[in-house]
Structure 1
Amino acid sequence: MNRLSLAVCAAFFVLPTMASANAIERACNASDGGSSRALCSCIGGVADATLSRGQIREGARWFDDPQRAQDVRQSDRRRDEEMWQAWRQFSTLAEQRCTG
């Protein structure tokens, strides 16, 4: 797993107590993955540009209840599909913009 993946994963696991995209940056900075402040700032910026506060809060709930994430991923409801796509887009953009 590369440094970005570790930082993004760490951000997701710390996120449940936080409610804004900037929380992703703080969680990244607090992670044990050895991520640089510049990398964490980049990830936080991508989250700001990609995810709404509601999407961040909902995604944070997935880590308390992984089955909920699975249910969203498999759901045919438009809202769930939009949520899943937003998080996929965030992950892809963070990897593209923040590595290198």
Structure 2
Amino acid sequence: MTKTLIAASLLALCLPLTAMAGPIEGACLKSDRKQANRAVCGCIQQVADMTLTGGEQRKAAKLIRNPDQAQTVRMSKSDRDNEFWARYKTFGETAAAYCAG
């Protein structure tokens, strides 16, 4: 009985965490790309969790929602933007390799 209660408590604590989409997953699901589905976008979010900070994920999500802004960041002369772009590019390459069906 105690094991069942502990298992149920753990499940109740974990469910809200698994239901929350990260910023990349949310932007991916809202995009007009035909390949965007929960499985693919969830996979991409997992890669983002491994390669980008929370702030970088929010910035990347903005680029997914507004691809024209990506060009601005890519062409920026700012060291901060250049460092972000290098990590964003690595994230994209990793996601493509890891999440390819």
TM-score (norm 1): 0.58
Q: In the alignment, what sits opposite 1:78?
A: 79
Q: Does 1:26 align with 2:3?
A: no
| Structure 2: stretches of 5+ with no match in the other structure | 1-20
Q: Deviations over 1:8-39 (max 9, x none)?
A: xxxxxxxxxxxxx7122233345552544322
Distance 1:65 1:36 in 2: 19
User: Does 2:46 correspond to 1:45?
Assistant: yes
Deviations 1:22-64 (A, max 9, x none): 1222333455525443222211101111122222333344455
Larger radius of gyration: 2
**What are the ranges of 5 or more consecutive residues in structure 1 without an aligned counterpart?**
1-20
2:22 counterpart SS class: helix
Taking only the aligned residue pairs, the percentage that are identical comes to 42
Distance 2:77 2:83 in 1: 10
- Residue 57 of structure 2 aligns to which amino acid in structure 1? I
Partner SS, residue 77 of structure 2: coil
Which of 83-92 and 31-40 deviates more? 31-40
Match of 2:7 in 1: none
Q: State the aligned residue count.
A: 80
What is the aligned-residue RMSD (CA, Å)? 3.0
